[in-house]
Amino acid sequence: MFKELTDDPFYIEYKKYDRCVLDYFIIESDLGHKDVLLYAMNKITEKDDYITIDKDKMKYNEISSKDFFELPKDYEKERCNIGDGHKRPYWYLFLDPPHTTNYKIDDFIEINNILFPKGKEYLEIYDWNVDWSNYFEDGLEWWGAAAISIYDKMLDRYIIILASSTD
119, 67 contact by CB (below 8 A): no
**Phi-psi label, residue 144: left if phi above 0, alpha if psi -120 to 50, beta otherwise:** left
Per-residue pLDDT, averaged over 35-55, amounts to: 87
Cα–Cα dist 112/38, whole Å = 23
Dihedral Cα 8, 14, 15, 21, nearest 10 deg: -130
Tens of pLDDT along 19-38? 888 999 999 999 999 999 99
**Confidence (pLDDT) at 158:** 98
Q: In the chain, what are the domains? A: 2-165 (3.40.1000)
Tens of pLDDT along 82-91? 555 566 789 8
Neighbours of 133 (CB within 10 A): 22
By mean pLDDT, which of 46-50, 104-108, 117-121, 160-164 is the weakest? 46-50
pTM of the model: 0.91
Average pLDDT, the chain: 88
**Confidence (pLDDT) at 65:** 96
Cα–Cα dist 124/117, whole Å = 15
Confidence of residue 71 (pLDDT cuts 50, 70, 90): confident
